[in-house]
Amino acid sequence: MSEEKHHIVSYKFYVIILLVLLALTFSSVEITSIELGKYTVAGALLFAVVKSYLVLTYFMHLKFDKPYIKIMVGFVFAVFVVTIVITLLDYLYR
């Protein structure tokens, strides 16, 4: 393992990502003060997706990892989506 190259990310870059995450968190709270009707949940989920993407990509180093790690994470995400879709087969058609 010692011969493998490790990507070094500067502290400054991590701090920027942290600040972006905090800004998005405050935004996701603030957006609830705007009346979006049935899009309220969609708005909150959009913020959550962007935040998850940033955490996975930078804090969890997916951006710098080998392709098979990305495929594994993608597979997990696909399983999650399939699980939600199947559950909705009950809720939407009940």
Partner 1 sequence: MHTTHAENEANYLKYKGKYKGLLGWILSTDHKRIGLLYLYSIGTMFIVGALLGLAMKFELLAPGKTIMNAQTYNATFTVHGVIMIFMIVVPGLPAVFGNFLMPIMIGAKDVAFPKLNLLSWYLYVAGVFLVLSALLFGSGTPDTGWTFYAPYSFKTGTNLLPAVFGAFVLGFSSILTGLNFLVTIHRLRCPGLKWTKLPLFVWTLYGTAWIQLLATPVVGITLVLIALERVFGVGIFDPALGGDPILYQHLFWIYSHPAVYIMILPAMGAISEIIPTFSQKHVFGYKAIIASTMAIAFVGWLVWGHHMYTAGMSGTAQYYFSLLTFIVAIPSAIKVFNWISTMYKGSINIQTPFYWAVSFIFVFMIGGLSGLVLGALSTNVYVHDTAFVVGHFHYIVFGGTGFSFFAAIHYWFPKIFGRMYDKAWANIGWLVFFIGFLALYTPMFYLGLMGMPRRYYDYLEEFHGGNILSTFGSWILATGLIIIITNLVRSARKGPKAESNPWHGKTLEWAVPSPPPLENFDEIPVIAEDDGPYNYK
Residues that bind partner 1 (CB under 8 A): 1, 76, 79, 82-83, 86-87, 89-94
**Least distance (Å) between residue 23 CB and partner 1:** 27
Nearer to partner 1, 14 or 75 (CB): 75
Q: Which is nearer to partner 1, 34 or 41 (CB)?
A: 41
- Is the dihedral angle over the CA atoms 76, 23, 63, 55 positive or is it negative? negative
**Residue 20 CB, nearest distance to partner 1 (Å)?**
26
Cβ atoms of 49 and 43 within 8 Å: the answer is no
C-alpha dist (Å) from residue 63 to 4, 17, 57, 76: 16, 14, 5, 17
Q: Report, in Å, the least distance between residue 67 CB and partner 1.
A: 14
Reading phi first (left if > 0) and then psi (alpha if -120 to 50, else beta), residue 61 is in: left
Please identify, using beta-carbon distances, which residue of 31 and 70 lies nearer to partner 1. 70
